[in-house]
Amino acid sequence: MSDLLAARSQMAMSLGFHILFAVVGIGMPVLMVVAEQRYRKTGDRLCLDLAKRWAKGTAILFAVGAVSGTVLSFELGLLWPGFMEFAGPIIGMPFSLEGCAFFTEAIFLGIYLYGWERISARAHLFAGVMVAVSGAASGIFVVIANAWMNAPTGFTVVDGKLASVDPIAGMLNPMAFQQTLHMTLASYAATGFAVAGIHAFLLLFDRQNAFHRRALAIALLVGAPAAVLQPLSGDLSARVVARYQPAKLAAMESHFKTGTRVPLVIGGWPDMETGETRYAIRIPGGLSFLATHDFNAEVAGLDQFPRDEWPHVPIVHTAFQIMVGLGTCMALIALWAGVLAIRQRDLCSNVWLLRALALAAPMGFIAIEAGWTVTEVGRQPWIVYGVLRTADAVTPMPGLVVPFLGFTLLYCFLGVMVAWLLYRQIIRSPRPTEWSRIYTPAGAARA
Amino acid sequence: MPDVTLAGVIAALLALSLNAYVLFAGADFGGGVWDLLATGPRRGRQREIIGHAIGPIWEANHVWLILAIVITFSCFPPVFARLGTVLHIPLTLMLVGIVLRGSAFTFRSYDDERDTVQRRWGRIFAGASLVTPVLLGVCIGAIAAGRVRRLGRNATFSESFVDPWLTPFSLAVGLMTLTLFAHLAAVFLTLESTDRDIVEDFRTRALWSGAAVFAAAFGTLVIAPEQAPLMGVGLLGSTWAVPFHLATGAAATATLAALWWRRYHLARVAVGAQVSLIVWGWALAQYPFLIPPDLTVDGAASPDVTLRLVLIALGLGAVVLLPSLLYLFRVFKAAPSDSVRRVPKGEPGV
């Protein structure tokens, strides 16, 4: 394994690990706050129990997210000193704001988790809202930094160094809005669907369990609207990619030869040598329409770019198919649940919906991993699109396969532990003793 | 002092966030050390107090480090690149420590109540709390000694990536960092319990670790002139050096005296002053270098427009952060951790 590949693998693995926790850190606080708000309003103690369990889950996931995020902030320098030395002055701005937002999130999460008995009900709910808001804000700032790597603006390059730097223009880069919108919706959809799916699965065996019913309802309330909106946000993203990163779009669509009325290629396996995509379904004019909203428009293919500026087409194409496919499934399930809810049907007695939701539990997270694969692998060979190559940014340190393997093992261990803890602490429905506590008045519970 | 530049102001903020990290997160790491060294009939109780004291605040305290990193790579990118390259190995090991400390602590708080499981996570938490401060100190020692230099063209692996930090001076600084964190934690912990025996336990630990800090600091100072000439000159030769050392020594003595007479609130203030003076002593001894012998505050700084914007962002952030932090500490640190004050109405307390 070359050092460059090891560095890229370590970064990919670290990001792929961290993003799961970051997404939960954005989505879970919303669920937690909704449950607590319901309890405050209706006095439904099941909602309080849910809020407390979700808070526990958030605590575990947030801690792992915080430390794995720290690893990433160091890895920018440990693996990509060339990139940071070049780009620090311009992407430092969103990272500084992210630092402040993350700080706020950590402070209020501490207050929320440990403050149940120390502060007033209103202050507690406010702390929860602050966690949700600052969590979303910190995600948005980080994605803005990534958007700049895709569509770098706000500088000129003189002798290989940045000149006339304008960090505000860097933050307002043309990809920033589309990418942050897509990622924020993805966070809510993935978290909502994961939680809904787990409880739907458990409801299949225990249909009347009120605990799982409440959990399912709140999770869908957060996840379903986001899942329905996500394809629209995807459409916005596709058009900016077409405009600013045509090579990435061509790789996503496995589109080799420039032409007009270009078909949308669904599935299939791209052959980099012959420039053919085998075993694919083609929708005539589909890609032209997606990229420009005109069925007859010309779309640049990979043939417009030198061979050494192509991203790895099979990976990008496949990852894109996975993301779009799973996103579509989630949107359809969300619509289905929405229609049932509008007709005032009981969602939890519809076995097929429960089955579909259970099946969809991991879809959001898989789609997010696939989506980031599209963004990051699709940008290669560039670390800053069109400006700085990844190979020129990597550290001169040899033997990078060692830290790569080390962190991989560490993260595998943590992943297994987190899954085990979540199962034991949060997912399992309350034991009979806990039920009796929930249903007895507060004063009597301690007797 | 020369005129104050924008970069100088940001460098001061960098020192300030490192100061806050050492003061707050340092105490959290020190708590882990005392978890490891918990002995006697009340060791279970000691561990419990430590867990309660750290629980609500360690993540917020940890963010000071992230803030320092962000300031470094936004405002002094060559410094960040140099540190990441030359100190790759100790920084990576430190990260492993940070990851294990944080996650093991959280897992211990939420995993099975059974003793064996608790002890397993506790051991990882405590071990990582012991190793991480040493590595942090090793990195600081390497910087202070002026050994984090540009990579030589034909340098071997060991010359480039190991020799800069594997030195007696770095290890001495690492050891000093560890004793300092442990001392800090023990002093803070005297205020975390209403149980007199527990308080006495932590008082004893605070006094002993205070003596260890003196020994480690003395040892570091003795080898500094030879091992870290730049630092030695700054620490011993400048005009501000003598009053600074006197102040640090006075704060350290005040801490021990306050502990001796069981004036724990006073001891907390004094030990905070002591630790802050040490951080600022290091910062001033290096000034104007961020990484001696070649990267200076002004020379390594980003363009002014970036510095100005980061300053604005941090200013805006501070408007939200400082009141929030004060609130966090007021809620959890106004009274000992084991004397939870209940809110009379509206909270059922399941």
Domain that holds residue B188: 6-304
Q: What spatial distance separates the first Cα and last Cα of chain A, rounded to whole Å?
A: 64
In a domain, B311, yes or no: no
Contact criterion met (CB < 8 Å) for A118 and B70: no
- Residue by residue, pLDDT tens for chain B (350 residues) are 456 788 889 999 999 999 999 988 888 888 888 888 888 888 888 888 888 888 788 887 888 888 899 899 889 988 988 898 889 999 999 999 998 888 888 888 876 666 677 778 888 888 888 999 999 999 998 888 888 888 877 888 888 888 888 888 889 999 999 999 999 988 888 888 888 888 888 888 888 998 999 899 888 888 877 777 766 666 666 677 778 888 888 988 988 888 899 888 888 888 888 889 888 888 888 878 888 888 888 888 888 888 888 899 888 888 888 888 888 888 887 777 666 544 433 344 33
Query: pLDDT tens for residues A373-427?
Result: 999 999 988 999 988 889 888 988 888 889 899 989 999 998 998 888 887 766 6
- A116·B314 Cβ contact <8 A: no
Task: Give, in order, the Cα–Cα distances in Å from A52 to each of A43, A113, A133, B327.
Answer: 14, 8, 19, 22
Distance between CA atoms of residues B78 and B290, nearest Å: 10
The CA distance from A177 to the nearest CA of chain B, in Å, is: 20
Residue A261 phi, psi dihedral angles, 5° rounding: 45, 60
Tokens of A247: 């090579």
Query: Are the C-beta atoms of A59 and A24 separated by less than 8 Å?
Result: no
Residue B208: what pLDDT?
A: 93
Secondary structure (3-state) at A299: strand
- Least CB–CB distance from A117: residue in B69, B112, B340: B340
Q: Taking CB atoms and an 8 Å limit, are B103 and A63 in contact across chains?
A: yes
Classify each residue of A123-144 as buried b or exposed e, where b means 16 or more C-beta atoms within 10 Å of its C-beta.
Answer: ebbbbbbbbbbbbbbbbbbbbb
Task: Write out chain A's pLDDT in tens, 447 residues.
Answer: 788 999 999 999 999 999 999 999 899 999 999 999 999 888 888 888 888 888 888 888 888 888 898 899 888 888 998 888 888 888 888 888 888 888 888 888 888 988 888 888 888 899 999 999 999 999 999 999 999 999 998 888 888 777 888 888 888 889 889 999 999 999 999 999 999 999 999 888 888 888 888 899 999 999 999 999 999 999 889 888 988 998 898 888 888 888 888 888 888 888 887 878 888 888 888 888 888 888 888 888 888 888 888 888 889 999 999 999 999 999 999 999 999 888 887 888 888 999 999 999 999 999 999 999 999 999 988 999 988 889 888 988 888 889 899 989 999 998 998 888 887 766 665 665 555 555 444 444 333
Both tokens assigned to B160: 């480039």
d(CA B158, CA B176): 25
Residue A156 parent element (H or E): strand A156-158
> Is residue B337 a part of any domain in this protein?
no
Of A69, A88, A397, the CB nearest to B74: A88
Compare CB distances from B81 to A69, A84, A119 and report the shortest one's residue: A84
Q: Is residue B338 part of a domain?
A: no
Q: Which two tokens stand for residue A162?
A: 């940045």
Question: Are the beta carbons of B302 and A81 separated by less than 8 Å?
Answer: no
As a whole number of angstroms, the longest Cα–Cα distance in chain A is 77
With H, G, I as helix, E, B as strand and everything else as coil, classify residue A218.
helix
| CA-based nearest residue in chain B for residue A113 | B56
Question: Is residue B63 within 8 Å of B30, Cβ to Cβ?
Answer: no
Kindly give the pairing relationship between strand A382-384 and strand A298-299.
unpaired
- A109 token code pair: 């999460």
Q: How confident is the model over A29-69, as pLDDT tens digits? A: 999 999 999 998 888 888 888 888 888 888 888 888 888 98
Contact B62 A70 (CB under 8 A): yes
Indicate the length of chain B as a whole number.
350
Cβ–Cβ < 8 Å for B79, B291: yes
End-to-end CA distance of chain B: 59
CATH number of the domain within which B217 lies: 1.20.1630
C-alpha neighbours within 13 Å on the C-beta side of residue A78 = 26
Nearest CA in chain A to B94: A71
DSSP tag of A424? I
Peptide bond into B293 cis (omega under 30): yes
Buried b (16+ CB within 10 A) or exposed e, A411-447: beebeebbeebbeebbbebeeeeeeebbeeeeeeeee
Predicted pLDDT of residue A114 = 83
Q: Both tokens of residue A439? A: 């249903």
Q: Which amino acid is at A239?
A: R
Total count of domains within chain B: 1
B241 sits in which H/E element:
helix B241-260
Question: Could you give phi then psi for residue A398, rounded to 5 degrees?
Answer: -85, 175
Cβ contacts (< 8 Å) between B74 and chain A: which residues? 88-89, 91-93, 95-96
Any domain includes B312:
no
Asked if the structure places residue B334 within a domain, the reply is no
Is A109 in Cβ contact with B81 (below 8 Å)?
A: no
Best probe of the B interface among A3, A70, A420, by most B CBs < 10 A, is: A70
Reading the block at residue A217, the tokens are: 């309802």
Cβ-proximal residues to A13 (8 Å cutoff; 6+ apart), any chain: A404, A407, A408, A411
B168: how many CB neighbours lie within 10 A of its CB? 13
Exposure of B5 in the CB half-sphere (CA atoms within 13 A): 17
Task: Specify if B320 maps to a domain.
Answer: no
